Every structure is written in structure tokens, then in C-alpha cells.
A and B are shown apart, each in its own frame.
Chain A
Amino acid sequence: MTDPEENEPVSRLNAAGEVGLVTPRDYVCSRPFTFKSGQVLPGFTLRYETYGELNTTRDNAILICHALSGDHHCAGVHSAEDRKPGWWDNLIGPGKAVDTNRFFVVCANVLGGCVGSSGPSSNNPETGRPYGISFPFVTILDMVRAQKLLLDHLGVTMLHGVIGGSMGGMQALLFAIEFPGFVRRVLAMATTSRESAQAIAFNEVGRQAIMQDPDWKQGEYSKGGGPRVGLAIARMMAHITYVSDASMDRKFGRRRKTSANGETYTFDVQFEVESYLRHQGQSFINRFDANSYLYITRALDQFDLAHAYGSLETAFAPVQAETLVVGFTSDWLFPPEQNRQIALALLRAGKRASYAELSTDLGHDSFLLESEELYALIRGFLERSQSNAVDFSI
């Protein structure tokens, strides 16, 4: 997903309706963790944040699952000087659509990530050096299982909801499949039950940009080094897939950089869109690990519920949660049709599921949109009373 806009200094500290200051914490699991691949880590760490309070019955928790380039910091600020709140701050907070006065919100950096959780940039205790590509292969299922261990550690007995967009939506669906008695509501947005050839193709171009960069060194680069050019190019390209023709045209059009001095016959930056993408690439390499990018895009590509369980309907057979799937008209990475198919398969499997489609022109990242319509839908879904458990099955 794209970075939140860099706004003017944040007035979000202690402001009414804001999460305010938050401190990330680490959950260290010291028991061995067996990945889907069969590879084993002696233990792992997940960095996470929580907002709101867990109630006495320990069942008001909402898990937020982040997308490819996201992290655990989805709301509030880390310091008074913080210019940028968490990536889903518009949605999460006291009185907001995901109301932290009612819900205990948890968000963790995924396994395989690079923002505090165990991943390829973590040190391998056996060698004293980063794992690099000797880190076990990560799947969406591994991410979900690790987060379940975190929730157990936090004493959560039942999730009121799991929410995620894009890769976060995949995790949310898988959570309801793998831990059916543990999840009441699933909200999956701008997601898919299996990546299309086009989505895999984009990921592969990103991976090739990284792996063809000589500084990648088979993944064995030192901390602070690595394939900076390749990772930046991967990010620039991926960024295009998160937006849309219309939104880029509105934001940049064919406007030129003033520094271009009217010089037409040059390969220096001429258009604002070029400068913007270069900036996106550069800021990304300062916060993201290239090997994590390889691991997580691979996890995305391999996600295929129909293949893993025989069919989508079989995959959803154990689900007990109520599901709401939201598609966005201009999303061409995980288009409305792929979101619709999730809801339809759930309904065919006899589950309580809904599908809503919001008209936007912002592309895949529309799920991060500041939209009262979207907030109303999400709030209505999270705060409605649980409908009677009528047997829908065939």
C-alpha cells in the first residue's frame, strides 16, 4: 500500500477522538515454530501495538492485519513530534469507525516482516548474522498462526473481529477458516482468495528488480546495505498498481517539475509523477528490507484458498464468523470481481456473508480512503448485534 500523506504537524496527541501516544511492544515466543514449509524457528518475535482496553470477558478484541508494506503501527503517534500517525489512524480511535472506546484493537507486524518482527533481517542466533534467505519460507497461514499465538498471550478468548485490506484481507479470511470458533466477524477489503497472473507478474518484476541488483548478493547483504536500487524500483512499480489512472491524472496530470528548466531533451526528472515515484522509492528503502519484500510477495503469490482446500466452498466450510467483503470499483490489482467471488463462495457454503462495493477512483488503496460512507458501513458491521445463528447450510 502507499504511504500516508505527509501532513502538517500532528495535532493528534491527546486530542479527543485520537488514539494519541502509543508504544510498540514485543511478543517473544520461545517455543519452536514450525512453518507450513516444514522449516522450524526455535522461537520468534512479533512487534505489536494495542489501543483500547480488553474487557473482562476478554472478547472485545479486533485484530487489524496489515498489507504488504504495512506494519504494526496503524493508529496514534509514537512521540509528540511524530508528523505521521499510524497508517489506519483515520479508521481507528475513540469514537471512530473502529471505536477504541468499545474495542481492544491489536495490530502486529507480520512474521517475515522487517519492522520488529522476526524476518530475514533478524539475526540468526546460530551464525550471529541476519538470516537473509535462509529464513524459513513464510506463508499467509504462518502469519496468521503467529498472530493467534500473540492473541493467546494477550489473553484474548474471542476476536470480535478481524479486519484487513489487501494481504490483510487474506489473513482475515484465513483466520476465520483456521480458527473458526475464535472469530465472530471478518471484514476483508480489496482482497482476493487467490492472486491472479497479473498480480503475480507484478510481484515477480519487483523481485527481479531486487535480485538482479548486484548489491542483493544472494540475500547476504549487511545491515544498512543491500539492493537499494532494486528495492526502490520494485516499490515504484508496485506503487503504480496501488493507485489508478484517474487518481494519478488528478494528482499529477502532465505537470512538469519546475527544476526541469524547460529542458525537454533529457532523461532527468521532467514530470511530477516521476519525481513522486522516485521519492516513494527512496523513502521505502529507508524503512523496508529487500529480503522481506521477497518473502512477503512470495507469500502473497502462493495464497490460493481454492487450491489449498480443494475449492473455495470447502475452504469456507468451517467458518463460523459473519463476513463482510468490500470491493472498490477502481481496484485493478484485486478487482471487485475477485472480492465478489469470496462473498459468493461463502454464501454458497451456507455462511452469513455480505458484499458491498464502493465507487471510488483511487484504485487498490481505496480501502484506506477517508470516506464517511465506508466508515458507516464498517461501524454498522462491527456494532450490530449478532444475528441469530440460523443454519444456512444446504
Chain B
Amino acid sequence: MTALVEKRTVDMQIIGEWVAPGSRVLDLGCGRGALLDYLVQSKEVAALGVDMDFARITACVARGLSVYQGDMTTFMRQFPDRHFDRVICSRTVQELGDPTGVILEALRVGRSVTVGFVNHGFWKNRVDALVRGRKVRNEVYTTEWYQSRPANPLTIADFEHFCAATGITVTRRAHLLGDWRTPCRALPNLFAGYALYDLAK
């Protein structure tokens, strides 16, 4: 658990480096608001979160965050183009029913879009699937398939292909090794455990 908390912190730090101080940030799937809280504290951003769950919304409200309970795509449709400086989609993209729709809508309402995801193509995951022949289970994927939410795991190669095919410009990448800390210098689809992308239209 501590390892996971630490990993979450690393994730937050990189996003924090990309976020401009005082900018207007929308976090899609904001959970209990840990990332937004961090960005408010460290970058004084104007933070707004969207989540589906009442208990998580309650946690965000108690933290002093502005937050909206509902569907993220329907939510974004209510805003004019480029209303937000940055839209963040951190560890949410694999659970979206319509990832293309969400990312394109995020690129409309946001000047830039940050997507962070666990690289399913990481070598340990491949070994897991090859050797055990079972759904990947480790400190990131903690549950059995029958205890898990529907998920649509993706790899770095998948995401690069998506950006190329849809004409999305990748302005920044961060590929991290299995410790989610050390930068990955070669063959990220094989050796990176976590990936962060900054996108623009």
C-alpha cells in the first residue's frame, strides 16, 4: 500500500511540474481530490473536479474543492472552447466507455490535456500473462477479474498509435520505469511502468 501511495505521489509531482501556477485545471475522475488538493497547495490553481461517486464528492467538498458529480463528457459539453487551461485524465482513461470522445472533448474545452496511465505493455505484465496465463495481478492491478471494474487496459504503443491516428499532437511525454520514478530511456513500451502525456490539438 505504501508503495502505491508513493507511486501516486510521483504521478502528482510530474503533473505538478507541467501545470502552470494559477491556471484553471479540470480533473476528470478526480476521486477524493488528492491530486487537485496537491495542485491547489503547490500551484494555487483554480481547481475543478468531476466524479460519479457521492462519497468521493463529499471528500472533495470537505477539502474545499469545487467538484461536480456526474458524467464527464456531458459535463464538458456544457463549457465553451478552451475554458480550462488544462484537463487532466489521470488513471481514468482505461475505464472510459468512449475514450476517444472524452479525449477529443477534453481537447476542445482545455488548452492542453494531460493523460496518465499504467502501461499494460510493461514487461512484467507481459511475463505475467505469458507465464501464468492469468489476468495480471500485482500492486497496481490488485484484484481478481471478478472483483474488478470493467477496464480497457492500454499500452504506450496503443496510446501513441491513437494520437497519430486521430491527429493529436503530443507536446510532452514522461515514461517511468517500474518504480514509477526513474525515467525510462529506451523501449518505453517494454520497460516503462507508467506513462504521462501532454496533448494538444
Chain A interfacial positions (CB closer than 8 Å to B): 322, 324, 340, 343-344, 347-348, 352-359, 373, 376-377, 379-381, 383-388, 390-392, 394
Contact = CB atoms under 8 A, between A and B. Distances in A.
Given A354-B68, A384-B63, A394-B83, A344 B78 contact: yes
A373 B66 contact: no
A355 B46 CA distance: 17
Contacts of A357: 54, 69-70
B190 interface: no
- Residue in B40, B55, B78, B80 with the greatest tally of chain A CB atoms within 10 Å: B78
A387 B61 contact: no
A356 B78 contact: no
Contact of A384 (B48, B55, B61, B70): B61
Contacts of A347: 48, 66, 68, 79
A335 to B, nearest CB: 13
A356 B61 contact: yes
B54 A354 contact: no
B54 A358 contact: yes
A120 to B, nearest CB: 40
5 contacts: A324-B61, A354-B65, A373-B55, A388-B44, A392-B46
Nearest to B68: A355
Contacts of A387: 40, 64-65
Contacts of B183: none
A357 B83 CA distance: 24
A322 B66 CA distance: 9
A388 B43 CA distance: 12
A385 B69 contact: no
Interface string B33-56: 000000010001110100000110
Contacts of B69: 355-357
B60 interface: yes
Nearest to A381: B61
A145 B119 CA distance: 58
B14 interface: no
A377 B22 CA distance: 27
- The B contact surface, by secondary structure, is mixed
B62 A354 contact: no
A384 B54 contact: no
A355 B48 CA distance: 11
A388 B58 contact: no
B40 A388 contact: yes
A236 to B, nearest CB: 33
B54 A356 contact: yes
Where chain A touches its partner, the secondary structure class is mixed
Contacts of A348: 78-80, 83
A352 B79 contact: no
Nearest to B63: A384
B64 A354 contact: no
Contacts of B66: 322, 347, 352-354
B44 A343 contact: no
B120 to A, nearest CB: 33
Nearest to A346: B66
A373 B58 contact: yes
A391 B60 contact: no
Nearest to A355: B68
A320 B48 CA distance: 17
Contacts of B44: 388, 390
A379 B61 CA distance: 10
A356 B40 contact: no
Given A380-B59, A391-B46, A392-B46, 7 more contacts: A343-B68, A347-B68, A354-B57, A376-B62, A380-B58, A380-B61, A390-B22
A381 B70 contact: no
Interface string B111-138: 0000000000000000000000000000
A99 to B, nearest CB: 14
A384 B61 CA distance: 8
A373 B68 contact: no
A290 to B, nearest CB: 40
B195 interface: no
A348 B62 CA distance: 22
Nearest to B58: A377
A390 B64 CA distance: 12
Interchain residue pairs A-B with the least CB separation, the first 6: A380-B62, A387-B64, A390-B46, A377-B58, A384-B64, A344-B78
Nearest to B67: A354
Contacts of A359: 54
Interface string B64-103: 1111111000010011100100000000000000000000
Contacts of B59: 380
A356 B57 contact: yes
Contacts of A383: 62
B20 to A, nearest CB: 13
Which of B24, B67, B68, B83 counts the most A-chain CB atoms under 10 A from its CB? B68
